[in-house]
Chain A
Amino acid sequence: MRNSVQKLSYLQAIIEAEREEMQRDENVILMGEDIAVYGAQSLVEEFGEKRMRNTPISENSFVGVGVGAALTGLRPIVDLTIASFCYLASDQIINQAAKLRFMTGAQLKVPLVVRTSTFYNNRTAAQHADRPYPLFMNTPGLKVLAPATASDAKGLLKAAIRDDDPVIFFEDINLWGKKEDVSTDVDLLVPIGKAAVKRSGSDLTIVSVAGCLPHALAAAEVLAGEGINAEVIDLRTIVPMDKETILTSVAKTGRLVIVDNSHKVGSVASEIAAVVSEEAFESLRKPIQRVATPQVHIPYNGALEKRLFASKDRILEAVRVII
């Protein structure tokens, strides 16, 4: 099956990555609440209850169970379902998973993957719609991934499962249904820490975080019609960030718009802006623009909610400021 492709949705690609890695390594297990519901019923049938643990509603502890299992020979994937639940589990993620290797003088390793989905733009209101990448970006010891395509979701999740450090894998539910051709090569990994240039251009750089990519590409298409060539970079890995790809692009274009659905203060976009200001200030011909979510909670009303997140129009507005 090498070098062939199959059409998979983003969510199917994630399940496929889990299936392939569970087939490849018997130490890979999957845990979470109602795991059979979110597309993984076939995995329960294939791998059985020993390796597919349906957990009670105990987010902090079942993530910690994943940590304990990771310390002692397993490679657990813990499905934390909705990213807002990360706060419940943040003690085990931050105080244990991220710190145990360090505090033991590198005696331990923590090959744990926490899968969690950002459930925004879906009329779920303020307690289900968070995009808490910055919380974990500010925690040393973690790797934080946020793929935007089915191929990257599969390849990055597989890389995360094989990585010996704790990884938070953010999946964007607005992308779950998006299909594309995905390689069936079981050993095709997407490298952690590498951004992808999705469209090259020389007039400005748009860096997109997670599910902002379709909007960034749509904006670039409009700009192309006006003779403006935007370079679109999909960050893919939030930590460790691929600074080189961003700095190389900004050196070429001199203009930067960062698109990120985190809340604006202390966002991923803030960090990218800080890095570019520190390391490539001379390249900038205009001020950096951040398209991010304002410091308000996410309303239930769908029309209001939509306006708080990245869109083609908001990106174009930001571009107009510096073009």
Chain B
Amino acid sequence: MLLIRRFEEALIAHNPVGHLSIGQEGAIVGACMALRDDDYVTGTHRSHGHPIGKGADINPLMAEVFGKKTGICKGLGGSMHLTDTSRGLIGESAIVGGGFPIATGAGLSIQVRETDQVSLCFFGDGAANQGTFSESINMAAIWKLPVIYFCENNGYAVTTSVEKSHGQPDIARRADGYGIPGIIVDGQDAEAVHAVTQEAVDRARAGEGPTLIEAKTYRFDEHSNRLAIPIEYRSKEEIEYHRNERDPISLYRATLLSRDLLADVERIEQEVAKTIDAAVEFARESPEPDMEDVWDCMFSNPINFPAYEGEL
């Protein structure tokens, strides 16, 4: 959680692009900790945290957000597409709702290949209003696919609140419509999130089908670091309340201290700071990608598609 927080704070300081997850780390990490390295994950436009939660190396992630050749996607994907396939990530969709079918397809693949992996689809409250939500969950339900649909409900689709955009503001209750379990959990409580996700993962591995989990969480920053929002769509008091009282990292730190783990907490805090400093240094000093990379990454099997010849 702290690694995600510091990663994004470093972006604010050094490279102000992207959709930040600050405030949502408890939901992200609680869910990822229930997964194995070979389990699949699809993410969203707000997906710096998902590869970090899955244990990806930090340097290539930071370099990717900086747009560098050493980035995990060679600087071609960027902040909204931090895919690290070595950790089971199979794409983050910047088209809201784009990940539902893909995560579902990974579930189908697992079932056909008869492995015991699972597939977890991160999505936001806004994505629940796309048709792909309904279409995909329905398919996973009828075929009993090993998929966990994990909603980070941060309360707002850009500026539009859940109350103003959802006939049923408890997204997990929609699970009834597909005949699958739907579970609501406090997204600021990482251990609670982990427990419900683990249960859903166990069900999926046992062939019992998909689960819809809704973690109630909160986005401390704006929709995008680059977007100046001219209207006040949520009150300063609301934001301050969540920052001061509902920060998943502060809450979990207090839990750990109550378990007499201060020394471990301080050691982790120091390690995280070093990791992030090193990653920023690595990203800054890395070379820019070349136009050849743009051509080279188009096809697995290029036919009548010559390599870049320097015309641009």
Contacts and interface: CB of A to CB of B under 8 A. Distances in A.
Interface of A: 27, 29, 50-51, 53, 55-56, 58, 60-74, 76, 91-92, 95-96, 100-111, 140-141, 143, 163-165, 191-193, 240-243
Given A64-B102, A65-B108, A73-B109, A101 B304 contact: no
B61 interface: no
Given A56-B138, A61-B136, A164-B301, A103 B76 contact: yes
B158 to A, nearest CB: 19
A72 B101 contact: no
Interface of B: 40, 42, 71-77, 81, 83-85, 90-91, 93, 95, 98, 100-113, 119, 131-132, 135-136, 138-139, 142-143, 293-294, 296-301, 303-305
Given A67-B105, A74-B109, A105 B71 contact: yes
A91 B135 CA distance: 14
B91 A60 contact: no
Nearest to B305: A240
A29 B110 CA distance: 13
Which 9 A-B pairs rank lowest in CB-CB distance, beginning with the nearest?
Answer: A68-B105, A64-B101, A61-B135, A105-B74, A58-B135, A164-B300, A240-B304, A105-B73, A68-B102
A26 to B, nearest CB: 8
Contacts of A140: 298
Given A58-B139, A104-B77, A105-B72, A69 B112 contact: yes
21 contacts: A27-B113, A51-B112, A61-B131, A61-B135, A62-B139, A68-B102, A68-B105, A68-B107, A95-B93, A95-B95, A96-B91, A96-B102, A100-B91, A101-B299, A102-B298, A103-B73, A104-B91, A105-B71, A105-B76, A105-B77, A165-B300
Given A92-B101, A108-B83, A60 B73 contact: no
Contacts of A63: 101
Contacts of B113: 27, 73-74
B101 A60 contact: yes
Contacts of B73: 103-105, 107
A193 B304 contact: yes
B101 A107 contact: no
